[in-house]
Structure 1
């Protein structure tokens, strides 16, 4: 299950984000969204957890938790209807 993590402190690292979620289970992937010009974090990222039960536990426990002075928001990432279909020619 892919989770969207918002309101991250701009100095939070990918390793810190991964460690936060690893407490709840296996992490398939973890990434911060970075600004292309400045190279700084945009304050949000994604964590992909293969087991839905672990992802839901992480979402429930971490949503609203204060991390590095910011109260993070965690929810299931929605697939955008604006993204092109990978199976389309």
Structure 2
């Protein structure tokens, strides 16, 4: 299950994002989206978890949690419609 994580503090690394989700279950990947020109974080990322039940627990457990002073927003990612 793909999870969208918004309002990340700009210094958060992919390793730190991964560590946030690990207590909830198996994490397939954790990616912080970077700006192509500046190379800096855009303040959001995606986490993929193999077990949907664990992913839902992670969403409920982490949504609005303060990480490095920012209240993060966590929700199931919506698939982009194929153009």
Name the TM tier (shorter chain): over 0.9
Query: 1:39 & 1:54 partners in 2: Cα distance?
Result: 31
Query: 1:51 & 1:10 partners in 2: Cα distance?
Result: 28
Query: 1:80 & 1:53 partners in 2: Cα distance?
Result: 22
Alignment of 1:42-57 (within 5 A): 42-57=42-57
Deviation, structure 1 residue 7: 0.2
Structure number with larger C-alpha Rg? 1
Residue in 2 aligned with 1:15? 15
Q: Matched residue pairs, number?
A: 83
Residue in 2 aligned with 1:87? none
In structure 1, runs of 5+ residues without a counterpart are: 85-89
| Larger helix fraction of residues | 2
In structure 2, runs of 5+ residues without a counterpart are: none
Secondary structure, in 3 states, of the residue corresponding to 1:5?
A: strand
Alignment of 1:66-85 (within 5 A): 66-81=66-81, 83-84=82-83
Q: Considering only aligned residues, what root-mean-square deviation do their CA atoms show, in Å?
A: 0.8
Deviation, structure 1 residue 79: 0.5
Residue in 2 aligned with 1:28? 28
TM-score (norm 2): 0.97
